[in-house]
Structure formats: C-alpha cells, structure tokens
Amino acid sequence: MLFRQNLPGYRSSSIIGCLCNNSLYSWKKHFLNIWSISLLALCLGWTAGCAPSRRFISPQVELLGLNVRDVSLSHINYQARIRVYNPNLESLDVTDVGYALYLNGVNMINGESQVEKTIKPHEEVQIPLRLSGSLFSTLRFLASMPDARKISFVMKGTIRGSSRSGRTFSLPFEEEGQLDLQQLQRY
C-alpha cells in the first residue's frame, strides 16, 4: 500500500491503481459476464435461425378445365374447376373466387363465387365454379365467326381468403386454352 501511494499521479481509479488494488478479480468478473451474455445472444440467434419459418407463402392456383355445362333461353353456363395447393405450415380458408372469361380476347363473363373451403398444410383441393353469361351476347359473338370449330379462351381471376393466424391473401391466376364449339351443338 505504501508503494502505491508513493507513485506520482496516483489515483485509485487508474488502471495501475486497479491492478495494484488487487481488483484484477473484478475485471475478470466483468469480462466473463460480458462474454457470457454475448455467447447467450449468439446461441439464441442461431437457434432462432434454425426454427421453422412462419412467413406466409401464397397458395398455387391452376385452372383444370372449362366446359359448357348447359344452355338455357337466356344464359349459357360454364363449369370451371380450379386446383389450389397450400404450401404453408398452417391451414388456409378460401372465401371467394373472382373471375373473368375472355373468348378470343372479348370479355364475356365477369363474376364472383363464394367458396368455403379449408386447405390443410401441404394439401390441395379442387374448387368447382359455375360461370354464367348472356346467351344473346355469346350467340352474337359466335355469329361473327361462322367457320370456327374452336375458340381460344382466357380465364383470369383472383382467389381470396385467410390463414388461421389471420393473414389474408388475394392471389391472381390466369389460364389459357381452347373451347370446343362442338359442345354447343349438343344443347
């Protein structure tokens, strides 16, 4: 102790004073605490990175088919089927499907179908849709193409719903194909 007090510029808070004051133990203690907290934070960050992700992945939608279902005096009814695949780790509730049908680039039908389907994780469901359009508009359209056997169609739409955790989705889909006009002769 006498040695420390005889040092020029002695202060008890200086590093020399800490080392001479036998407080090396307190420096080790603080260093170990900081090291322990850093190691704990690193481990927690690493395990959080390995945990399964809870981010939402949009469901996949595919149009499976479009056929003429029946023809009445005022309407022509189509039957469409879409397949929806759920790539998430939680179930999805599909609530409605909005759609538009274009024949040779002309918008013929717009509509929306209310749907109540639950899709379990990593599963798919098929959803039938009934589309209805004006027979007069369809016949007028077909009269403008008297020699056509097939016409091209484009069906655009949006499937909407929510996940069990409350996340909502609105996913557009689009499919192109050919519609056989021979089906209309049966009606």
Q: Cα-flanking dihedrals φ and ψ of residue 182, to 5°?
A: -65, -25
Which residue is listed with tokens 């024949």? 103
Residue 63: its pLDDT value, please? 79
Report the CATH fold assignment for 60-185.
Answer: Immunoglobulin-like (2.60.40)
Query: CA torsion angle for 71, 72, 76, 77 (degrees, to 10)?
Result: -80
Pairwise pLDDT comparison (175 vs 35), residue with the higher score: 175
Pairwise pLDDT comparison (60 vs 97), residue with the higher score: 97
Residue 88: its pLDDT value, please? 86
For the chain, domain boundaries: 2-50, 60-185
Most confidently modeled of 23-32, 101-110, 144-153?
101-110
One-character DSSP codes across 145-180: -TT-SEEEEEEEEEEEEEETTS-EEEEEEEEEEEEE
Pairwise pLDDT comparison (101 vs 56), residue with the higher score: 101
Torsion sign across C-alpha atoms 11, 16, 22, 28: positive
Query: CA torsion angle for 4, 9, 11, 14 (degrees, to 10)?
Result: -90
Average pLDDT, the chain: 76
Dmax (CA) of the chain: 117
Kindly provide the b/e burial profile for residues 69-104, where b requires at least 16 CB atoms within 10 angstroms of the residue's own CB.
eebeeeebbbebebebebebeeebebeebebbbbbe
Q: Using CA atoms, how far apart are residues 66 and 78, in angstroms rounded to an integer?
A: 7
Pairwise pLDDT comparison (18 vs 92), residue with the higher score: 92
Tokens representing residue 51 in the block: 């945990």
Query: CA torsion angle for 43, 45, 47, 50 (degrees, to 10)?
Result: -140
Q: Where are the beta strands (DSSP E) in the chain?
A: 60-71, 75-85, 92-103, 106-119, 124-134, 150-163, 168-180
Q: What is the mean pLDDT of residues 76-98?
A: 90
Q: What is the mean pLDDT of residues 137-155?
A: 82
Residue 149 banded pLDDT, cuts 50, 70, 90 = confident
Residue 112 banded pLDDT, cuts 50, 70, 90 = very high
Per-residue pLDDT of 27-64, as tens digits, reads: 566 555 666 666 666 655 555 445 444 677 878 888 78
pTM, full prediction = 0.58
Residue 42: its pLDDT value, please? 63
Residue 121: its pLDDT value, please? 93
Residue 9: its pLDDT value, please? 53
Residue 96: its pLDDT value, please? 93
Containing 139, the helix (H) or strand (E) segment is helix 135-143
